[in-house]
Amino acid sequence: MSDVQVHRLGNGLTLLIDESNRPTSATHLSFPGGAAADPAGAEGASAVLHALAQRGAGGRDTKALSEAFDGLGFNRGGGALQAVDLFTLTGLAADWVPAMELLADIVLRPALPAEELEPCRTLALQELASLEDNPGYKARIELTRRYFPTAYGRCTLGSPEGVRSLTADGLREWWEGSWRPDGAILAVAGGVPAGQVVNTVERLFGGWNGAGPAGPPPSTDGRMAYEHLTHETEQVQIALAYDDVPPTDPTRYQSSMAVQVLSGGMGARLFTEVREKRGLCYSVGAGGQAVPGHGFVVCSAGTTTARSSETLEVLVGELRRLPGTAQADEVERGRVRLLSSMVMNEESTSSRAGRIANDWQLLGRVRTAAEMRAGIEAVTADNLNAWLAEHPPRDFTIVTLGPSFQWPEGLAL
């Protein structure tokens, strides 16, 4: 991986450039805000604003804007996340400058036509309603809401009441106050020369100024231990979260390896013990997650009502059995998976842009591939077990969602 160049504009925008000899380019622009910063009573403002901003900008209407991107062969994406608003672009490096000019129009000069609000609102409400047909996703959203009791735990789609309350004037006011550069990150990876990137970004975004609203920190103070949500589905969904080390912790690689031992493929413990040996569920897994200043692990499983109590009991049992029991072959298998994933991601221009932006947001710096490889290779069964002795899975937040659920007799949190 090439060295990432870092430039900071006078308006507070951080520019990260990962230049490589590739014909493609990928861009990630994020700025503070997101669902956590939505005004109280207007939950969903950031999500709907992002959709509305795509409906004409810089003097182009919706069709002309889409045709301009399509003519360049660029794909755009993004949306409101937990604590940031995100825009992404992928396409050929040769056409990056005109694509960035279109993105600058969306961010700085959106039309925000009042007549387009209702279609955007309707789509947002439909997306919220679709959660009822995706119980696994709904369970994870409800888990996040309970694990982060403040506004940080909001659903990124907003709420039906909040979306219905939005007005065109209110969204324009929200755009004026929230889409600001101070604290924003613009990551560009691929075959665009670094000098061209700097000059283009200075020209397009140098006059942008101000700071957006800051949402609450990702605090878990006051989180609940367990709640069942009645939902008419065929299965019971189980979602569980527990604290992990923050992303800046130097032992983060031990944390990643612990998750691999639990859920790194079909030979990992959760798949083997919960599904294969007992046949309790079709899918079960765990994944490490990180937000600024805080790390956590999320586990999930879907099973029948009759087997849901045993599934949770075995799941928690495997988490509690982990400290002191990691084996060398499990660590080696996890190491191969982590290194393979790292290499594959570094081959993708889009993944590289996302990774360097994420590193900067979480760490305030960008890791090199050599640093990541060294961290992964330094983990052994001995130092992983020593780490687990100090950081055992505990203090769980659990949500079950389904027709009914009987708490396992004897299972204490």
Q: Tens digit of pLDDT for each residue in 170-192?
A: 999 999 999 999 999 999 999 99
Residues above pLDDT 70, as percent of the chain: 100
Mean pLDDT of the chain: 96
Domain-embedded: residue 216:
no
Can you tell me the distance from the alpha carbon of 265 to that of 271, in angstroms, rounded to the nearest whole number?
8
Tell the residue number behind the tokens 């586990």, with chain if given: 299
Q: Of 40, 138, 57, 62, give the one whose Cα is nearest residue 101.
A: 57
Residues 22, 136: one domain? yes
8 Å CB contact between 76 and 103? yes
Domain end marker among 172, 205, 238 = 205
Can you tell me the distance from the alpha carbon of 164 to that of 216, in angstroms, rounded to the nearest whole number?
24
Residues 284, 176: one domain? no
- The CATH code of the domain that includes 247 is 3.30.830.10
Domain of residue 60: give its range.
5-205
What mean pLDDT do residues 344-366 have? 95
Domain-embedded: residue 72:
yes
Domain-embedded: residue 412:
no
8 Å CB contact between 103 and 89? yes
Domain end marker among 175, 205, 235 = 205
Residues 17, 146: one domain? yes
pLDDT per position as a tens digit, 122-132: 999 999 999 99
Domain-embedded: residue 409:
no
Domains: count for the chain: 2
- pLDDT of 151 reads 94
Residue 380: other Cβ atoms inside 10 A = 16
Can you tell me the distance from the alpha carbon of 357 to that of 342, in angstroms, rounded to the nearest whole number?
16
- pLDDT of 2 reads 57
pTM of the shown model: 0.94
How confident is residue 355, by pLDDT bands cut at 50, 70 and 90?
very high
- pLDDT of 1 reads 43
Residues 179, 240: one domain? no
